[in-house]
């Protein structure tokens, strides 16, 4: 079956449960940030394993389901839990849900993640608007025959994170009196956290935060004409910046602490996009 046919089958399965109310905004919720989906009103929940052609999520702290409904008067489709390259999925599998979102009618995508802070002026618990990314994964979801119906062979990535959306999000943060950092997200494959030397290198390359997701989804969103807003939760300082080891528990603990302001911020943003 062709990729287009798979996308259409997934979309049909989802649409059939929606009685015509299609979402226009997509949310991808990273580690510990899935709670935002609990705020969605009139929610229809569809576990990934039910959806034709969807891969399944395996990581602790990631629920695997789509939540579709209303948030601040907007029709949204949220991924509560995402697929990671380090789980062994291909880039095409990691990004498949973004293509289904496009088919559902999604025009704007809010991507979130937990990330390690590289910029030394950041602190754990900070939120960061992603201004740009560096694909350090050594792979690209668009490698292979291009499906022209989805997008161009050589997509422009000069404004991968939409400036207008960043401005809107900044205004929302200001309205809430919330200080949000800005910077460049480096996508690594994981699953190892970085060495101290790797973090130094990434800083030299212009990175402000590092994580193990987001880049593939943002590439495919740009390919297929979806505008992207990215928000990182700085869950820890990246390796070598503080003299302490990193742990997944720390990542979850910090996102737990900031989730209230994160939820507030996203709701405020949704009021004005
Ligand atoms: N490095 C990579 N990915 C991460 C980190 C980190 O320090 N924190 C949360 N995700």
**pLDDT of 61 above 80:** no
Whether 2 is catalytic is no
Mean pLDDT value across residues 214-228: 98
Q: Is the dihedral of CA 111, 115, 119, 121 positive or negative?
A: positive
Q: pTM value?
A: 0.95
Cβ distance 264 to 134 under 8 Å? no
Atom in ligand 1 nearest the alpha carbon of residue 194: 1
Mean pLDDT value across residues 152-157: 98
**pLDDT of 156 above 60:** yes
Model pLDDT, residue 57 = 58
User: Measuring CA to CA, which residue among 170, 175, 181, 179 is closest to residue 208?
Assistant: 181
Mean pLDDT value across residues 133-147: 98
Whether 212 is catalytic is yes
Q: Is 235 in the pocket of ligand 1 (CB under 6 A)?
A: yes
Nearest CA owner, ligand 1 atom 6: 116
Mean pLDDT value across residues 52-70: 79
96 C-beta neighbours (distance < 10 Å), count:
24
Q: What is the Å distance from ligand 1's center to 20 Cα?
A: 39
Q: Is 124 in the pocket of ligand 1 (CB under 6 A)?
A: no
Contacts of 54 (CB under 8 A, 6+ apart): 10, 48, 96, 97, 100
Q: Work out the pLDDT band at 73, boundaries 50, 70, 90.
A: very high
Q: What is the Å distance from ligand 1's center to 128 Cα?
A: 14
Mean confidence (pLDDT) of the chain:
94
Q: What is the Å distance from ligand 1's center to 236 Cα?
A: 7
Whether 93 is catalytic is no
β-strands 25-29, 41-47 pairing: unpaired
Whether 213 is catalytic is yes
Q: What is the Å distance from ligand 1's center to 95 Cα?
A: 20
Whether 248 is catalytic is yes
Model pLDDT, residue 20 = 81
Q: Work out the pLDDT band at 30, boundaries 50, 70, 90.
A: confident
Alpha carbons 13 and 43: distance in angstroms, whole number:
16
Tell me: ipTM over 0.95: yes
Indicate which residue of 11, 37, 57, 84 is catalytic: 84
Q: Which residue has the tokens 């849900």?
A: 97
């Amino acid at each position: 079956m062709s990729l287009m046919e798979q996308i259409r089958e997934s979309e049909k399965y989802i649409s059939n449960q929606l009685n015509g109310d299609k979402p226009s905004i997509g949310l991808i919720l990273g580690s510990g940030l899935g709670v935002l989906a609990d705020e969605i009103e009139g929610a229809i929940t569809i576990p990934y394993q039910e959806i034709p052609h969807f891969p399944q999520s395996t990581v602790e702290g990631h629920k695997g389901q789509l939540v579709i409904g209303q948030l601040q008067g907007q029709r949204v489709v949220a991924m509560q839990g995402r697929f990671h390259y380090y789980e062994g999925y291909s880039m095409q599998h990691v990004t498949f849900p973004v293509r289904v979102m496009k088919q559902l009618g999604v025009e704007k995508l809010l991507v979130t993640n937990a990330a390690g802070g590289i910029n030394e002026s950041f602190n754990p618990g900070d939120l960061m608007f992603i201004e740009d990314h560096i694909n350090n994964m050594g792979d690209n979801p668009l490698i292979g025959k291009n499906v022209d119906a989805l997008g161009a062979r050589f997509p422009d990535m000069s404004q991968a994170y939409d400036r207008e959306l960043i401005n809107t999000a900044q205004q929302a943060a200001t309205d809430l009196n919330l200080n949000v950092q800005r910077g460049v997200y480096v996508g690594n494959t994981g699953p190892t956290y970085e060495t101290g030397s790797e973090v130094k290198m990434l800083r030299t390359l212009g990175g402000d935060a590092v994580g193990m997701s987001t880049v593939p989804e943002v590439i495919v969103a740009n390919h297929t004409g979806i505008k992207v807003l990215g928000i990182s939760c700085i869950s820890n300082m990246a390796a070598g910046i503080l003299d302490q080891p990193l742990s997944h528990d720390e990542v979850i603990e910090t996102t737990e602490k900031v989730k209230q302001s994160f939820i507030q911020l996203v709701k405020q943003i949704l009021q004005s996009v």
